[in-house]
């Protein structure tokens, strides 16, 4: 990649010079490309990191799903994009296919960007892909991104921690059914922290996990906010309480992708909203009425969340 001596992949290529080429056979080191696992941020192209933009522009191929959002995807030439999200007909691209494709392209000598919404290691299967690449001796780097779990709610004026309101924050998937015997998420333990709970992939199962938090003893008046399509041109925010979670979602017609914030900090939106001056966010919120909302296809499933 041009002019960036800090790139992890450059170190990986240095390894090649020592004979540990990515094919593992000591030959053809120079023919192996590098994979960059890149976080796009929540969707505003202005929140792509400088390095993310650099990698995208220099890549031979960009494998992506829908979550980076329309503006970032439209900024990438169609001929170098491969969509590994939801296929036509609603079928999922299996993770095995994506893993295989990454190895295949890099082995052909291509520099590949695997572009993911937010941060690639926050509920993004980036860890699985990194391990798969390492197993196949493909040099890779990680380019962190602004996660929707922090930055996506931050642009709505909601700080995930606050000296007066929350000394801890938990990030959790709402995709799990809390009524399942073997749920990996311990909602009662999360409720007991007294801190902020940020739920990703949590639109569909909102009634179930809000009930689980109430059953664990949380106050029904606990503030709750839903931030939909954070930083996209049609971003919206809905606020309510834990006790009215489902109505808050349904009255506003909130659809994925959205982040749920449960905790006192969720009320900050109401306190600061009038003075929020993140240009496009403010514009989106001013215009983003329920009527304006369109049924985009960037669903929880598109986000890599097999329901
Ligand atoms: C598979 S997770 C990927 C998270 C991503 N890696 C990140 O760090 O933001 C998908 C979920 O992230 C959340 N999400 C991602 N981008 C979002 C956005 N722009 N606005 C609201 N929620 C978003 C939603 O909860 C969505 O269901």
CATH number of the domain within which 115 lies:
3.40.1010.10
Q: Do 205 and 113 share a structural domain? A: no
- Which of 16, 44, 66, 86 is labelled catalytic? 86
Catalytic residue from among 16, 21, 54, 65: 65
Is residue 65 part of the annotated active site? The answer reads yes
298 domain residue, yes or no: no
The answer on 197 and 109 residing in a single domain is: no
157 and 254 part of one domain: yes
- Residue 257, preceding peptide bond in cis (omega within 30° of 0): yes
Q: How far is the CA of 91 from the centre of ligand 1 (A)?
A: 20
Contacts of 224 by beta carbon, 8 Å cutoff, 6+ apart:
210, 239, 240, 241, 242, 244, 245, 248, 260, 261, 262, 266
Q: Are residues 128 and 15 in the same domain?
A: yes
Whether 235 sits among the annotated catalytic residues: the reply is: no
CA 171 to chain centre: 12
CA of 42 to the centre of ligand 1 (A): 7
Whether residues 156 and 258 fall in one domain: yes
* 116 part of the active site: no
Residues 273 and 159 in one domain: yes
pLDDT for residue 17:
35
Any alpha helices (H) in 108-205, and if so which ranges?
A: 126-135, 153-154, 187-193
CATH number at residue 272: 3.30.950.10
Note the residue count of the chain.
307
- My answer on whether 101 and 27 are in the same domain is yes
Q: How far is the CA of 266 from the centre of ligand 1 (A)?
A: 17
| Three-state DSSP state, 22 | coil
Do 99 and 30 share a structural domain? yes
Structure tokens at 109: 């000598």
What is the reported pLDDT for 87?
64
**Domain count for the chain:** 2
Q: Supply the DSSP symbol for 21.
A: -
Given 44, 54, 66, 201, the catalytic residue: 201
Neighbours of 213 (CB within 10 A): 23
Ligand 1 mean position, distance from CA 260 (Å)? 10
The CA distances from residue 307 to 22, 175, 204, 301, in Å, are: 35, 7, 10, 7
Assign residue 194 a region: left if phi > 0, alpha if psi is -120 to 50, beta otherwise?
left
- The verdict on 123 and 160 lying in the same domain is no
Cβ atoms of 41 and 121 closer than 8 Å: no
Q: Where are the alpha helices (DSSP H) in the chain?
A: 8-17, 50-58, 70-74, 95-107, 126-135, 153-154, 187-193, 206-215, 245-252, 268-272, 279-287
The dihedrals phi and psi of 136, each to the nearest 5 degrees, come to -95, 10
- What are the structure tokens assigned to 36, written together? 């960059």
Q: How many angstroms from the chain centroid is the CA of residue 22?
A: 29
Same domain, 166 and 128: no
Last residue of a domain, one of 128, 146, 164: 146
Q: By three-state DSSP, how is residue 93 classified?
A: coil
**pLDDT for the residue 178:** 74
Same domain as 158, residue 128: no
Among 149, 303, 306, 307, the mutation site with the greatest number of ligand 1 atoms within 8 A of its Cβ is: 303
Owning domain of residue 30: 8-146
Identify the burial level of 79 via C-beta atoms within 10 angstroms of its C-beta, where 0-12 means exposed, 13-18 middle and 19 or more buried. exposed
On whether residue 97 sits in a domain, the answer given is yes
Has residue 302 been placed in a domain? no
Q: Are 54 and 163 in contact (CB under 8 A)?
A: no
What is the pLDDT tens value at each position of the chain, 307 positions in all? 434 434 444 443 334 333 334 444 444 445 899 999 999 999 999 999 999 999 999 999 999 999 999 999 999 999 999 999 876 566 778 999 999 999 999 999 999 999 999 999 999 999 999 999 999 999 999 999 999 999 999 999 999 999 999 999 999 999 877 777 667 899 999 999 999 999 999 999 999 999 999 999 999 999 999 999 999 999 999 999 999 999 999 999 999 999 999 999 999 999 999 898 876 677 667 765 443 333 333 444 444 443 3
**CA-based nearest residue to 247, from 216, 206, 288, 213:** 206
Is residue 306 one of the residues assigned to a domain?
no
Q: Smallest Cα–Cα separation from 208: which of 183, 232, 236?
A: 183
Looking at residue 24, what DSSP letter applies?
S
Cα 13 from chain centre = 29
Q: Do residue 187 and residue 222 come from a single domain?
A: yes
Q: Tell me, what's the pLDDT at 241?
A: 98
Pocket residues for ligand 1 (CB within 6 Å)?
Answer: 42-43, 67, 116-119, 122-124, 147-149, 152, 200-201, 227-232, 256-259, 300, 303-305
């Amino acid at each position: 990649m041009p002019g960036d001596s800090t790139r992890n992949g450059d170190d990986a290529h240095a390894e090649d010079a020592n004979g540990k080429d990515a094919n593992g056979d000591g030959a053809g080191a120079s023919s192996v490309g590098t994979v960059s696992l890149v976080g796009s941020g929540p969707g505003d192209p202005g929140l792509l990191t400088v390095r993310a933009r650099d990698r995208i522009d220099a890549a031979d191929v960009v494998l992506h799903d829908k979550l980076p959002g329309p503006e970032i995807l439209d900024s990438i030439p169609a001929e170098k994009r491969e969509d590994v999200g939801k296929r036509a007909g609603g079928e999922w691209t299996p993770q095995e296919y994506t893993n295989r494709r990454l190895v295949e392209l890099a082995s052909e000598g291509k520099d590949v960007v695997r572009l993911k919404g937010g941060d690639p290691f926050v509920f993004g299967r980036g860890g699985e892909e990194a391990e798969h690449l390492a197993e196949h001796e493909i040099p890779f780097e990680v380019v962190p991104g602004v996660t929707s779990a922090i930055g996506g709610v931050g642009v709505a004026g909601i700080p995930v921690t606050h000296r007066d309101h929350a000394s801890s924050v938990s990030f959790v998937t709402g995709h799990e059914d809390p009524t399942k015997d073997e749920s990996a998420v311990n909602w009662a333990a999360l409720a007991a922290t007294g801190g902020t709970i940020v739920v990703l992939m949590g639109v569909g199962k909102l009634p179930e996990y809000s009930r689980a938090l109430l059953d664990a003893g949380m106050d029904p008046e606990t503030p709750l906010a839903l931030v939909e399509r954070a930083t996209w041109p049609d971003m919206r925010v809905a606020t309510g309480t834990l006790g009215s979670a489902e109505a808050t979602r349904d009255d506003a017609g909130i659809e994925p992708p959205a982040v749920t914030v449960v905790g006192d900090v969720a009320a900050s939106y109401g306190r600061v909203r009038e003075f929020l001056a993140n240009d496009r966010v403010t514009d989106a919120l001013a215009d983003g009425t329920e009527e304006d909302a369109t049924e985009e296809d960037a669903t929880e499933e598109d986000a890599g969340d097999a329901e």
